[in-house]
Amino acid sequence: MPCFNQYEVIIFDCDGVILDSNNMKITAMRAALKTSEFPAELIETAVNAFKNNFGKSRSYHCQYFVKTLQGLEGKKAADLQETILQHYSQAVENEYLQVAMTDGSLSLLQSLDNKDLYIASGSEQDQLIRIFKKRGLDHYFKAIVGSPETKSTNVKNIINAYPANTRSKILFIGDAVADYNAAVDNNIDFIFYSPYSNVTEKMLEMSKTHHFPVIHSFQEDLCYDASP
């Protein structure tokens, strides 16, 4: 793909970029909240917040649900957060093995065998490494990183493994605001991959303001700039 030729290092988000797992995770979080007896009247508010803030860690989300939305503190809050996390982790473990890869992502990974490829996700790191190994995908990547570290910190750690003068040759491909922010925080290029995003309209508007490229398919020959 010509738009990737200038890069030596490519960092991918996982959910909605490599795996078609965004909707699965939303369903899993809704189920985890219900099973954990989170207040029924707050569940859809919590799920919408989760959906609109993909890329942040599951611990961040659960803390927001319990402390900000429900107003709990102390041990009661900590216990409920842990319960939600356990139910959510169990729900996504098996589903991660079943969800499809995004269209064209496997062919893309195979075509980039001369690049250093990474995963930087908001998903829990140990679980993600385990899933990628079970699916036979781990060998495409030099490292797979995730929470509890923030995405921005993980991207920074990846970049720091390379000489400073290679920063212009590092790209982040993501589908959420957190992905864009991680790229900006680390002064590297960003491409928005749109087909599976939860926040497509928001990201397209941001692309017009911040002038980052958008791709709608990994089969495209060229990336294009969505700015007018």
Identify the pLDDT of residue 221: 52
Burial 89-124 (b: 16+ CB within 10 A, else e): eebbeeebeebebbeebeebbeebeebbbbbbbbbb
The model's pLDDT over 165-179, given as tens digits with 9 standing for 90+, comes to 888 999 999 999 999
The most confident of the ranges 121-125, 155-159, 221-225 is 155-159
The model's pLDDT over 58-88, given as tens digits with 9 standing for 90+, comes to 899 999 999 999 999 999 999 999 999 999 9
Please answer whether residues 112 and 137 qualify as being in contact, where contact means their C-beta atoms are separated by less than 8 angstroms.
no
- pLDDT-derived band at 3 (thresholds 50, 70, 90) equals confident
Percent share of the chain, pLDDT over 70: 95
Identify the pLDDT of residue 20: 97
Identify the pLDDT of residue 167: 86
Please give the C-alpha separations between residue 228 and each of 205, 207, 212, in angstroms, as whole numbers. 11, 10, 12
Q: What is the mean pLDDT of residues 176-184?
A: 96
